[in-house]
Structure 1
Amino acid sequence: MGRSFDELVAEADSVSVDGWDFSWLDGRATEQRPSWGYQRLLGERLAEVGAALDIQTGGGEVLAGVPALPPLMAATESWPPNLAKAAALLHPRGAVVVADSDEPPLPFADAAFDLVVSRHPVTVWWQEIARVLRPGGVYFSQHVGPASAVELVEFFLGPQPEEGWNGRHPDRARAGAADAGLDVVDLRPESLRMEFHDIGAVVYFLRKVIWMVPGFTVGGYRDRLRDMHERIVSEGPFVTYSTRYLIEARKPADADRG
C-alpha cells in the first residue's frame, strides 16, 4: 500500500470498533468462513419456532440478517455501545433487546423459549440455557474453538499455557451441555485461515476482539506492532488460524415432567 507504519496504526487506532461489523477490514484482512453457513442455518431454525432468544447478540448484525424472525424474539447484550446498535437494528424487526450482564441468571422465566442461539458467546452458562428452554427446545450456536488465532496472540504475548486454550475445546462444551441435561445432536469443528495484509488491520482486530490480547493498546504494544509491520512488508500477509465449532443441543421432550 506504500503507507507508513505510523499512518496505518494511527488510522486503525482512531476508527470506531462498536458493534460486530468487520467491513472496515475489507481488502485488508481475510478469514475463511466455516463450511456450514451459520447465518443461513440460523434463519432456517428461526423460521420454525414461536419463541427464540439470542444470547450475547453483539450489535445484532447476525440476527438482523436472517429473513424472518419468530413472533417472540428476544436478544441480550451487555456492552452499552453494542446494546444501542442492536436495538436500532432489531427493534424495527419486532425483537426485544435486553441489557444483561452475561452472568447467571438470564432475565427470563423457565421454559420460555423453543430456541436459544448465540454466535461466538464469550461465556456459556449451560444450566441457564437449559432452564429457559422448553422441553424439546434446542440450543444452536457457533462457538470460538480452542487456540483460535494462537499465532497472532503469541506474537504479542509469547507462549501461552496449553490449559488456557483448552477451556474452549468442543469436548468441554459437550460435557457442559450434558451436565445441564441437554443432548448434543451435532458438533462440528473447523480450522480457518486468516490473513492480515497490513498492520492497521491487526490493530483494528485487536481493538475489536478485546479478549485476544487483553488490555491491548497501541502504546503498550508499539514495538511488537512495528516488528509485525516489518514482517508483513518483507514477507507478505501475517497468517494465523481461527477455530470454530457448530453445536446443537436438545432438551429432552420429557424434561421437567414429574
Structure 2
Amino acid sequence: MSDSPIPDTGPSDERFDALVAEAESVSVDGWDFSWLDGRATEERPSWGYARAMADRMARARCALDIQTGGGEVLASVPKLPPLTVATESWPPNIARATARLHPLGAVVVADDDRPPLPFGDAAFDLVVSRHPVTTWWEEIARVLAPGGTYFSQQVGPASVFELVEFFLGPQPPEVRGARDGESARTDAVAAGLEVVDLRPERLRTEFFDIGAVVYFLRKVIWMVPAFTVEAYRPQLKALHRRIENEGPFLAHTTRFLIEARKPA
C-alpha cells in the first residue's frame, strides 16, 4: 500500500498521471506483492502451496528451492531441513534472499537458471519451486536422490492473458497453450520421474486502478516484454478510462500444482 493514497476524485488525466507516477516510483525487487493490497486481488489456488511445501520441508533432510526470488516463500517455512539451499539468478533478489534466509540457516547460491544446476547427483531428497520461469526436468531428476520428491506450483497456460492481449493483441495458439500441465507431466516422465499429483486451476484476478497494472507489468517482466509506460502510454490511458468507467479490469490467472518422485 502506498504512503500517500491517490484521491478518488479529480480529472481523469490528472489521476492517470498521479497513479502511473506512483507505480513507476516504487521498487519491484523481490517477489512481494503487498504494494498491490487494496489495488488488485488474485484468487489463491485451493491447495495452499506454502503450507503444503512446509509440510514436506518438515520431513526432508536436504532440500533445494529453485528460483527462490527474494526467499519470501521459503522463509515462511516453520521448520527448515538441516541442509536447505536456494538458488536465484537476479542480483537484487540474490541480495534480498541472502539477507532473509541466511539467519534461518539456509544457503543462497547465485545461479543463472540454466543447466546444469550447481550441485552433485542425488544431492537432495526434496526439490521445490514456486513459479519457475523454466523447469529443467532432467536436472531436477539428476539432483534428486532416489525416492526424492519435486514439488512445484507453476504458472499455467494463458495466465492473465486478458491483460497481455490488451497490450499485445491476440496471441497465437502456441503461445496461449504454452506452460500446460500435461506437457509438464510428459517432460517429467521423460526425465525418469513419476508424476503423483497434477492439479490445474483458473483463478479470478482484478486490477482496480492503472497504477496496479503498471506495477504488475514492471514486476512480472515476461508478461509484456520490454514494457515501459512511455512505450504503452496510449494503451494505458485507454485502460485507465475503461477502469474508471466500467470498474475493475478482470483477468484470470492459471496455475497448476505438480508433484513428481524419483524411483527408489
TM range (shorter): over 0.9
Query: Is residue 13 of structure 2 the alignment partner of residue 2 of structure 1?
Result: no
Query: Is residue 124 of structure 2 the alignment partner of residue 113 of structure 1?
Result: yes
Matched letter for residue 61 of structure 1: E
Counterpart of 2:61 in structure 1 is 50
Matched letter for residue 9 of structure 2: G
Q: Kindly state the Cα deviation for residue 164 of structure 1 after the two structures are TM-superposed.
A: 1.1
Q: Distance in 2 between matches of 1:131 and 1:60?
A: 24
What number of residue pairs does the alignment pair up? 253
Give unpaired runs (5+ residues) of structure 1: 254-258
RMSD, matched Cα: 0.6
Return the match for 1:185 from 192, 196, 217.
196
Counterpart of 1:165 in structure 2 is 176
Residue 20 of structure 1 aligns to a residue in which SS? coil
Counterpart of 1:174 in structure 2 is 185
Identity %: 73
Q: Kindly state the Cα deviation for residue 131 of structure 1 after the two structures are TM-superposed.
A: 0.1
Q: Kindly state the Cα deviation for residue 162 of structure 1 after the two structures are TM-superposed.
A: 1.1
Q: Kindly state the Cα deviation for residue 166 of structure 1 after the two structures are TM-superposed.
A: 1.8
Map residues 204-219 of structure 1 onto 2, 5 A cutoff.
204-219=215-230
Q: Distance in 2 between matches of 1:21 and 1:62?
A: 9
Give unpaired runs (5+ residues) of structure 2: 1-7
Contact 2:88/2:94 (8 A) holds in 1 = yes
Counterpart of 2:51 in structure 1 is 40
Deviations 1:83-108 (A, max 9, x none): 10000110000000000000000000
Map residues 58-77 of structure 1 onto 2, 5 A cutoff.
58-77=69-88
Q: Kindly state the Cα deviation for residue 66 of structure 1 after the two structures are TM-superposed.
A: 1.1
Q: Distance in 2 between matches of 1:85 and 1:77?
A: 10
Deviations 1:172-213 (A, max 9, x none): 100010010000000000000000000000000000000000
Matched letter for residue 119 of structure 1: R
Output the TM-score relative to the length of structure 1: 0.97
Output the TM-score relative to the length of structure 2: 0.95
Return the match for 1:100 from 91, 111, 119.
111
